[in-house]
Structure formats: C-alpha cells, structure tokens
Amino acid sequence: MKLFIDIGGTHLRSELQMPSGVISDSVSSQEHDLISFIEKKLELYPFITFIGISYAGQIYKGEILSAPNIALKEPKIKEYFESRYDLRLEIDNDLNCAAMAEADYFKSDSLLALYVGTGIGSAFIDEGRLIRGSKNMAFEIGHIPYKQTSLRCGCGKTNCLELYASASGLQKWMEHLKMPILSFSELENSKNKQKRGIALDFKEALLFATATLITLTNPKIIVFGGGVIEHNPQIVEYLKENIEGQAFSGSLCGLNFYISSLENGAMSGAKLLEENIYE
Ligand SMILES: [Zn+2]
C-alpha cells in the first residue's frame, strides 16, 4: 500500500493506493495537522510501505525548513515516520512536484511551472534536471521583493510578490480594505473601481513574475496551474497578450504557453517521488 499526500495552505488531499483500488480524501489543512493525519492513516492501514508528500513549503532532505501558509508540528517528518514505522517517506516542495509531473506529461526536458493557488510558486526543469539550489529553495518567486505594502506575508516580509499575485494575497487586500470576500472573477468584473483595482494589481504582479522567470530561465515550455488559474484561465490569455515588452524578447522566441491539463499536478508529482528521478 502507498499513501500520497498533497498539502497546501487550504487543502490536505490524500490518495491511498491499495490492491483493491484507490481511496481519496480531502480535508482542511488549517484544521488538520499533517503528522496526526498520517498517524491516523497508519493506524487504519498498517501495511503502508511508501508515503510520498508534496508540501507547500521549503523542504530539504526530508525536513520542513519553513511553511509560510501551513501550521507546523514536526519539521523532521521523514526521520519521524521512518524511525517509528517500517516504511519509506519522501517529501518535496509542491512546485518541484508539480514541475516533475508537468515535465512527465509534456515529455519535456525544459519546462517552467508557475502555479497560483493559496500562494504562488515556480519550479524549473533544465536539460531534464530539476534546478533546486543549495537548500532546495530555488525559484521561490512568491517571496521576491515586489512592492512595499502595509500587509504581511506568511514568510514575515511586507514586500513579497505573493501579497499581490495569490489567493491569500487577494484575501489580505480585501480584509485590509474591509470588503466582503469575493472570488477573483467577481473582483475582475466588479463595477467598483477599487475591487477591479485589486484584480488588476494581481494580474500585473503575475505578469511581472512570468516575465522575470522567462527572462531568467529561458524555458521551452511555461505551464500555468493552481486553483486560481484553473478557475480563471482568462488570466493566462492576459499574460500571453502582455508578455511582449516585459520579458526579454530572445527568451520568448519559440516559447509555448500552456494551462496545466493535470487534475492535481502536485499530487501527480508526489507519486513520482518514489522513483527519485529528479533527486
Ligand atoms: Zn513572503
């Protein structure tokens, strides 16, 4: 039996693979702690031999270094479970997982994944290798300095791009301006100028992130995913229409834009962790 988990700032999703089929589960990641969630699964299904986790945070060698959008109980999660149970556990950053799954889907060796959900994240595969950085934190696009605000990011800073181009950022702006909480499309189509302004700030920040990443990485494919993109594919049309003049023109030559076709790229990537292709 194998257990696969995708945990972000909003959902904790799991898939238990058994000889008789798959059991899927989805709970709130704000109300459920990851360690207790896995322990309960192991109590019910003691024959789990592999756990693959896609995690919306900074991961290095089986340890959670930080998690701006998730409450954290036990950072050394790999050691915690492998020392207590007869199983193997692999965990990686959610965008790394998503990029692995997208590269697998597109059969591409040069791909940039940019996902917008609760947070915003990116990962880059070049010549078939995932570019990780020394502590597996490369391409943390959400936390690059963008504009100074009176809001605070989950990472502690007040100027992160994620404060503009993410679902959590949109929510922070609506709360700050004492507005009712609306969806992105409700903001975008509102008659109210201030509400439309939040959506426009979001799109401009995402365009900046997209242009910056394309200029830095020069991929063959850029693929957009995550809940906000899934529900608002028009955002990618906006990016395509406005990318010229933003990204370095040479990097745009031959570049293909896609919206993810995967139901859950991060979860698909969690399933690839067992093979260690992108070690
Ligand atoms: Zn931040």
Asked if residue 103 is part of any domain, the answer here is no
Residue 29: count of CB within 10 angstroms of its CB:
23
What mean pLDDT comes out for the span 68-90?
A: 92
CATH of the domain at 6: 3.30.420.40
Asked if residue 44 is part of any domain, the answer here is yes
What is the total count of domains within the chain? 2
CA–chain centroid gap for 21, Å, is 27
Residues 68 and 140 in one domain: no
Q: What is the pLDDT of residues 31-71, one digit of tens each?
A: 999 999 999 999 999 999 999 999 999 999 999 998 877 88
User: What distance in angstroms lies between residue 160's CA and the mean position of ligand 1's atoms?
Assistant: 5
Q: What is the pLDDT of residues 100-128, one digit of tens each?
A: 999 999 999 999 999 999 999 999 999 99
User: 101 φ, ψ to 5°?
Assistant: -65, -40
Residues 20 and 155 in one domain: no
Residues 245 and 269 in one domain: no
User: What distance in angstroms lies between residue 85's CA and the mean position of ligand 1's atoms?
Assistant: 35
Residues 64 and 28 in one domain: yes
Identify the pLDDT of residue 49.
97
CA distance 20 to 189: 47
Q: Enumerate the β-bridge partners of residue 54.
A: 6, 92
Identify the pLDDT of residue 9.
85
Residues 249 and 269 in one domain: no
User: What distance in angstroms lies between residue 180's CA and the mean position of ligand 1's atoms?
Assistant: 24
Model's pTM, two decimal places?
0.93
User: What distance in angstroms lies between residue 163's CA and the mean position of ligand 1's atoms?
Assistant: 7
User: What distance in angstroms lies between residue 158's CA and the mean position of ligand 1's atoms?
Assistant: 7
Q: Which two tokens stand for residue 80?
A: 């915690």
Residues 123 and 49 in one domain: no
Q: Among the listed ranges 68-72, 201-205, 255-259, which one has the minimum average pLDDT value?
A: 68-72
Residues 18 and 113 in one domain: no
Provide the pairing of β-strand 256-259 with 221-225. parallel
CA distance 116 to 126: 21
Residues 130 and 220 in one domain: yes
Residues 67 and 84 in one domain: yes
Residues 138 and 39 in one domain: no
Contact 214, 255 (CB under 8 A): yes
Identify the domain containing residue 119 by its residue range.
108-259
Identify the pLDDT of residue 278.
77
Contact 83, 95 (CB under 8 A): no
Asked if residue 234 is part of any domain, the answer here is yes
Q: What is the mean pLDDT of the chain?
A: 96
